[in-house]
Chain A
Amino acid sequence: MKESPQSKKLEAMLRSSKLVAGGFLGTDNRSVSEIIETDRQTAAAAGYSTAEIARRMQEITDIAVTGLGNFVRIDEGLEAMVEEAKGSLVCPWPHPGTYAKRVTILRDTKNQKLLQWSDLNIHMIAEHGFFEGRGSTFRLEPDELADVIF
Chain B
Amino acid sequence: MFTTILISVLIISLIAAALAAVLAVSENYLGDYGPCKITINKESELEVRGGKSLLALLSQEKIFIPSACGGRGTCGMCKLKVLEGGGPLLPTEEPFLSDEERDSNVRLSCQVKVRNDIEIQIPDEIFAVQEFKCRCADILELTHDIRQFTFELIEPEKIDFVPGQYVQLFTPAYEKSSEEVYRAYSISSDARNDGKIELIIRLVPNGICTTYCFDYLKEGDEVKLNGPYGDFQLSDTEAPIIFIAGGSGMAPIKSMLHQMVNTDNKRKASYFFGANKVSELFLGDLMKDFESQLADFTYVPVVANPEPEENWDGETGLVTEAVKRQIDDASVCEAYLCGSPGMIDASIAVLKELGMKEENIFYDKFA
Contacts and interface: CB of A to CB of B under 8 A. Distances in A.
Interface of A: 16-22, 65-71, 81-88, 90, 96-98, 100-103, 116, 118, 136-138
A5 B203 CA distance: 36
14 contacts: A22-B177, A22-B211, A66-B342, A69-B274, A69-B340, A69-B342, A82-B340, A82-B342, A86-B366, A87-B367, A88-B75, A103-B205, A118-B206, A138-B205
Contacts of B346: 66, 68
A3 B177 CA distance: 26
B95 A97 contact: yes
Contacts of B202: 83, 85
B179 A68 contact: no
Contacts of A68: 246, 274, 304, 318-320, 339-340, 342-343, 346
A17 B205 contact: no
B206 A138 contact: yes
A67 B318 contact: yes
A20 B179 CA distance: 10
Q: Which 3 A-B residue pairings sit nearest by Cβ, starting from the closest? A: A70-B304, A84-B340, A96-B95
Contacts of A70: 274, 276, 304-305, 318
Interface in B325-356: 339-343, 346
Contacts of A118: 206
Nearest to A103: B205
A84 B341 contact: yes
B145 to A, nearest CB: 9
Nearest to A16: B178
A90 B319 contact: no
Chain B interface: which size bin?
Answer: 35 or more
A87 B168 CA distance: 12
Contacts of A85: 202, 204, 207, 210, 366
A87 B340 contact: no
Given A18-B178, A67-B318, A83-B202, 7 more contacts: A21-B211, A68-B320, A69-B274, A69-B343, A70-B276, A85-B202, A100-B367
Given A68-B274, A100-B341, A18 B179 contact: yes
A27 to B, nearest CB: 13
A21 B177 CA distance: 5
Contact of A116 (B72, B205, B207): B205
A125 B110 CA distance: 30
Contact of A67 (B178, B185, B304): B304
Given A71-B276, A86-B183, A87-B75, A20 B206 contact: yes
A90 to B, nearest CB: 5
Nearest to A24: B206
Contacts of A97: 95
A82 B94 CA distance: 28
A96 B210 CA distance: 25
Given A86-B184, A98-B76, A21 B304 contact: no
A103 B318 CA distance: 19
B208 interface: yes
B177 to A, nearest CB: 4
B96 interface: yes
Nearest to A82: B342
A17 B212 CA distance: 13
Contacts of B176: 17, 21-22
A47 B91 CA distance: 39
B50 interface: no
Contacts of A65: 342
A88 B319 CA distance: 25
